[in-house]
Amino acid sequence: MHCELCLSEHPEDVLCGDPHWTQVSLSTGAPESQPVDLTGQTLGHYRLVRRLGAGGMGTVYLGEQTLIGARVAVKVLHPHLGHDESLRARFYAEARTVNVVGHPHIVHIFDISEAPGGIHYFVMEYLEGVPLSRLPRPMDPAQLVLLLAQACDALDAAHRCGVVHRDLKPDNLFVVRRAGEAPSLRVLDFGVAKARRPRSEDDTAAGIVLGTPAYMAPEQWAGQPVDGRADIYALAVTAYYLATGQLPFERGQMAELALSSGPVPGPMPAHMLAPSVPPALSDVLLRALARRCEDRYPGALDFKAALLAATAPPVEPRLPAEEPPRSHTPVPSSQVVLDEEGPAVEPSSVTPPLTWVAVVRRRSGADTVEVRCTELSKGGLFMCCAEPFPRLFTRLEFSLLLAGEEIACAGEVVRHVDSAQARAWSMSPGVGVQFINPTARLRELIHRVQPSRVATPAPPGTTPAAHP
């Protein structure tokens, strides 16, 4: 299986190259020269077995540790560039940057050295797999998002260390495949990464643009200072390209995005190009591709959460594990009750479900509202209420009256059941709420009231058991 680390097969593709767009070059003043093939030579304790790829800064070889035979990847700076002090510093800065961050989803670099003859190199873990650029497109959105979520974790770690990658693209996101394990992702090639620092010390101060144009954020394309939101933009371009097979912006539109003072048309929603893309995922990508960095997700973990939520399968409401399923469940009113009793439940051939009243504190904190609840268990309960529902993962503060005792509770909204679903399932619209850190007293009271639950049909003509 082919392994490509940090460099593509395009010689110009390390600093600024891209298979889709023309390149932005970095003038070094160094004489141009064909890369030297060092296959078969030994650098330190590493014998170079074969060439894996070459780029504008260096060549990557499959290496073998001569003492124990372990396989590694060795990245060698092109000898004709080794005379330039600034390029040597940039080359070694990549290794130092990676080790400063030190994250499982970032390729690990564990040696750096210089061999006789002015050959500069560092040694990395050898990864079996392929870059995202080699996978068929369009990709399955769910599979793609799981891989991008790992990239977000890596970016979050880098950004918290003050490091911006600045050259994220499918070539630099490597899918590792090991027998018996789920595919995992590594972020590669921090060769143009930069720790955030005053502009006077930054390469971009001299007007040098580093990166790959098709994936660069407008502010980066224009040579302005960048932060982690530029990486979020690049990851969103990658996601759009892999999900649809097309780049979000046409050739040349980046200049308009970066330099125009007027409005610029946004990209077509991804689901209009690839029907397999959920519309919610389209919305997430459009926000991450916003022209102004202030309009994007503020952090990599925010982007990750939005990606996962957009592709998560709908969660169907289910009865608590300790209660056998019912063929039919008469339910209370779907409307929130405000200081009055709701309409009575008509008698039926099935025992009505037990109900409780929760006094929910509104988010403003100014007042409360009473809500009928069913399906009480140790894990949570179901609140019967009308739409619009509070958003998923909203925290609710409320009190419950259990066995004559009012007890304070906190919960998180984890499920919505709208009117259409409620009709299909013969239940009330509302939200499922999961308890947050339930107290021992709350668990005790739930255990006390649960034995009185009646789950079998009542004989015809009898009166259902009263709520204790």
The residue ranges of every structural domain in the chain are 131-311, 356-452
Number of other CB atoms surrounding residue 361 within 10 Å: 15
What's the rounded Cα separation, in Å, for the pair 318 and 332?
18
What's the pTM value of the predicted model, to 2 decimals? 0.59
Q: Using the structure block, give the residue that is written with the tokens 């990599």.
A: 300
Determine the average pLDDT of the residues in 398-409: 87
Whether the pLDDT of residue 460 is over 60: the answer is: no
Identify which of 133-137, 256-260, 341-345 has the greatest average pLDDT: 133-137
Q: Which residues contact 425 (CB under 8 A, 6 or more apart)?
A: 317, 417
What's the rounded Cα separation, in Å, for the pair 309 and 318?
20
Supply the pLDDT for residue 264.
Answer: 65
Determine the average pLDDT of the residues in 412-433: 83
Supply the pLDDT for residue 110.
Answer: 86
Q: How far is CA 49 from CA 29, 38, 112, 409, in A?
A: 31, 9, 18, 64
Supply the pLDDT for residue 36.
Answer: 79
130-179, pLDDT tens digit by residue? 999 999 999 999 999 999 999 999 999 999 988 899 889 999 999 998 87
Whether the pLDDT of residue 9 is over 80: the answer is: no
The question of whether 167 is a catalytic residue gets the answer yes
Tokens of 253: 């539109």
Q: Which residues contact 105 (CB under 8 A, 6 or more apart)?
A: 150, 151, 153, 154, 184, 185, 186, 187
Axis crossing angle, helix 141-160 with helix 300-311, rounded to the nearest 10: 170
Residue 239: in which H helix or E strand, if any?
Answer: helix 228-244
The identity of residue 347, as a single letter, is: P
Residue 130: in which H helix or E strand, if any?
Answer: strand 129-131
Q: Is 159 helix (H, G, I), strand (E, B) or coil?
A: helix
Give the pLDDT band (50/70/90) at residue 236.
very high
Whether the pLDDT of residue 456 is over 50: the answer is: no
Whether the pLDDT of residue 451 is over 60: the answer is: no
DSSP E strand stretches across 153-237: 163-164, 173-176, 184-187, 194-195
Whether the pLDDT of residue 370 is over 70: the answer is: yes
20-63, pLDDT tens digit by residue? 332 333 333 444 455 678 999 999 999 999 998 877 778 999 99
Determine the average pLDDT of the residues in 377-392: 86
Supply the pLDDT for residue 102.
Answer: 84
Tell which residue, 311, 243, 302, has the closest CA to residue 281: 311
Whether the pLDDT of residue 73 is over 50: the answer is: yes
Tell which residue, 187, 16, 14, 131, has the closest CA to residue 139: 131
Phi/psi for 14 (5° steps) reads -90, -55
Tell which residue, 305, 292, 242, has the closest CA to residue 270: 242
Give the pLDDT band (50/70/90) at residue 324.
very low
Supply the pLDDT for residue 321.
Answer: 52
The mean pLDDT value of the chain amounts to 76
Give the pLDDT band (50/70/90) at residue 258.
low
Q: How far is CA 390 from CA 35, 92, 95, 316, in A?
A: 60, 51, 47, 17
Catalytic residue among 167, 171, 189, 231: 167
In words, the CATH class of domain 131-311 is: mainly alpha
How many CA within 13 A on the CB side of residue 363?
Answer: 5
Give the pLDDT band (50/70/90) at residue 390.
confident
Query: Would you say domain 356-452 falls under CATH 3.20.20.140?
Result: no
